[in-house]
Amino acid sequence: MSSIQQFQMYIDGKFVPSVTGAQFESLNPATGKPWAALPEAGLEDVNAAVNSARNAFDKGPWSNFTGTERARLLRKLGDIIARDAELLASCESKDNGKLYREMLGQWKYIPEWFYYYAGMADKLQGDTIPSDRNNFFIYTRREPIGVVAAITAWNSPGLLLTFKLAPGLAAGCTFVVKPSEHAPVSTIELAKRFEEAGFPPGVFNVITGAGIPGAALVDHPGVDKVAFTGATQTGKKIAASTAKNLTRVSLELGGKSPNIVFDDADLDVAANGAIAGIFGATGQTCMAGSRLLVHEKVHDALMDRILARTAQIKMGNPLDADTEMGPVANAPQLDKVLEYITVGLQDGAKLAAGGKQDEKLGPMFVMPTIFTGVTNQMRIAQEEVFGPILSVIKFKDEEEAIAIANDTRFGLAAAVWTQNIHRAHRVAHQLRAGTVWINAYRVVSFLTPFGGFKESGLGRENGMDSIREYTETKSVYVELTGKPRDPFTLG
């Protein structure tokens, strides 16, 4: 009997195969074997999903739900997710090879997003505008933007989707979701929780597959907004595509984030932060601290600590509780990581750790890799690898550190390690990045805006303002006298 589990898409409140019957498989990178089979959506499936979301938005019961009613459903969904966090986490870990304990932490945290934005659903107030004319009463309304196409990456599918779903549903939008073909299962499992919570059909639709469905969704005239997380290169294609219909778009893209260690830092803590920044999640996070900028005076002392800890990193099965680093998530990603190891060597960087696959564990397990002697012009300092490769760059003073940190086309995140409070804030203010941590790395919260400067993205997720990404403001003028006015001048 096959151990491959079958999953279906979720369209208009029903679990369905693709119209053509085509399927694809999701491989578990830790075993190298397929574990799930899913429908490969074609154009007809995309149309069906968008039509369903369109109907639910334009005509369905959802369109008449008050904010209070939407909030009730969001809270219920949060409770169901909290109950089922283990199952959702294990699907993701099997799909993308990330540590089960990290995925579980994410799924246990995800309900907070639904509770937080539930609290906002009935507070989307407009303004009463004081009029400059006595015969007008003017007010604004915050209306949902409409049908949202949410497209996500494979590294944290549930969390990245939640960043979009929770504010979007609170605002009254409906969704067609397209998870990555490398990690689609948790999104399908989430659909079962939507059904249990009692969301009307069409509010949440899921289509799966590579190639066609994402691009067709972005191009679809029935979509009002695209909310995307993925590579910068894909984000640019999507921005160009949405420009055709002026479809609203928000983009969460790649990074090459600087992790800056000054000579007055606590080196033990900073070394731990450097490890968390690049080897957490096998380096497969958008916010990876992939450029370690170190003051020349503490370079050797810091590297001794980092190399000692790196040598102890326990690689293995992501489902085991004591594993610290799992496999690279998929075959294209493995090729990319291995290619950048070659590029680093060709560019003259010094390989201080790793640089190869772990023979015992198998080809998908790339050892934690550190290049020292890197200059910021090298490709391994400028291009996103999205894997466990650290580029270490020396600097001599604060001014140079800031210049190197900002000399990148990305601007997602950065960290500053120092015990000098003046320097900590001074440097944080000068870094061109959407998030800066001081003496910490890789922290996100539903309360705090997250997003990129420069080519790391467009718009912000999380926090109070992100709900604005899912509403349009409408101004309403009410004439109070009922008398006609000069029809040939601006009123």
CB 283 within 8 A of CB 385: yes
Q: How far is the CB of 147 from ligand NAD (least distance, A)?
A: 16
3-state secondary structure of 258: strand
Tell me how far CA of residue 254 lies from CA of 10, 211, 229, 257, in angstroms.
29, 20, 9, 9
Q: How far is the CB of 8 from ligand NAD (least distance, A)?
A: 18
Active site residue 252: yes
Sole window of 21-29, 55-63, 149-157, 421-429 interacting with ligand NAD (rule: CB under 6 A): 149-157
Please tell me which residue in 40, 91, 181, 286 is annotated as part of the active site. Answer: 286
Among the listed residues 9, 121, 188, 238, the single contact to ligand NAD using CB under 6 A: 238
Sole window of 81-89, 193-201, 251-259, 262-270 interacting with ligand NAD (rule: CB under 6 A): 251-259
Is 329 a residue that touches ligand NAD (CB under 6 A)?
Answer: no
Residue nearest to ligand NAD (CB): 214
Complex with ligand NAD: residue 72 or 468, whichever CB lies closer = 468
3-state secondary structure of 270: helix
Q: Which of 414, 412, 413 is nearest to 452 (CA)?
A: 412
Q: How far is the CB of 121 from ligand NAD (least distance, A)?
A: 24
Helix axes 185-197, 67-83, angle to 10 degrees: 130
Q: 393: left (phi > 0), else alpha (psi -120 to 50), else beta?
A: beta
Distance in angstroms (rounded) separating the CA atoms of residues 222 and 423: 50
Among the listed residues 129, 212, 215, 351, the single contact to ligand NAD using CB under 6 A: 215
Tell me how far CA of residue 174 lies from CA of 57, 58, 131, 431, 469, in angstroms.
6, 10, 34, 36, 14
Report the 10 Å Cβ neighbour count for 10: 25
Q: How far is the CB of 284 from ligand NAD (least distance, A)?
A: 8
- What residues between 449 and 468 interact with ligand NAD by CB under 6 A? 452, 457
Distance in angstroms (rounded) separating the CA atoms of residues 165 and 469: 11
- What residues between 109 and 128 interact with ligand NAD by CB under 6 A? none
Report the 10 Å Cβ neighbour count for 484: 7
Q: Which amino acid is at 99?
A: L
Complex with ligand NAD: residue 155 or 174, whichever CB lies closer = 155
Among the listed residues 185, 253, 380, 381, the single contact to ligand NAD using CB under 6 A: 253
Distance in angstroms (rounded) separating the CA atoms of residues 291 and 391: 5
Question: Binding string to ligand NAD for residues 397 to 436, with x set by CB under 6 A, is what?
Answer: ---------------x------------------------
Complex with ligand NAD: residue 8 or 140, whichever CB lies closer = 8
DSSP string, 316-385: --TTSTT--B---SSHHHHHHHHHHHHHHHHTT-EEEE--SB-TTT-TT-BPPEEEES--TTSHHHHS--
Q: How far is the CB of 51 from ligand NAD (least distance, A)?
A: 19
Please tell me which residue in 252, 384, 398, 469 is annotated as part of the active site. Answer: 252
- What residues between 276 and 295 interact with ligand NAD by CB under 6 A? 286
- What residues between 71 and 100 interact with ligand NAD by CB under 6 A? none
Active site residue 472: no
Q: Indicate if the alpha-carbon torsion angle 425, 427, 430, 431 is positive or negative.
A: negative
Binding site for ligand NAD (CB under 6 A): 151-155, 160, 178, 180-181, 210, 214-215, 218, 229-231, 234, 237-238, 252-255, 286, 384, 386, 412, 452, 457
Residues marked active site are found at 252, 286
